[in-house]
Amino acid sequence: MGIEIERKFLVSGTAWRAAESVHLRQGYLSHDKHRTVRVRLAADAGALTIKGVTAGATRAEFEYAIPVGDARALLDICEGSIVEKRRHVIEFAGLSWEVDEFLGDNAGLVVAEVELESEAQSIARPHWIGEEVTHDPRYFNAALSRKPYATWDR
């Protein structure tokens, strides 16, 4: 079984912008409370991902490459809005940090994720890392497709 252990943080400053980025478009075929089914298009690659219920910072995750044409067709039948973002990958203290700069209805939101070997793993945080939002479901990408950042009361 595929397992994802991931912590999520808000980002401040702009130092992370120096990293190369890739444009991602993703949508959700299922928002069931027991699983999400996501389709993603990143440059010239398509992927289908099934994620289970999150417990702490851990959840089941299965990801499969799919043809780009299939990814485009599946994005057309997704529930909610399509989530668009620029992903910057930054290596820091032996870990890969994925900084997602959201676009469209989620513009203004910048979130960093780091995948870990265990929930107890200690991490060194880059200076641009802010508040941890791992346990706040509003920051899940699936939630952002249903209730975009632009609609939040802040």
In 3D space, the residue among 131, 125, 82, 84 whose CA is nearest the CA of residue 111 turns out to be: 131
Residue 149 to residues 35, 67, 113, 138, 152, Cα–Cα distance (Å)? 22, 30, 17, 9, 5
- 139 counts as catalytic: no
Catalytic one of 28, 64, 139, 149: 28
The set of catalytic residues is: 28
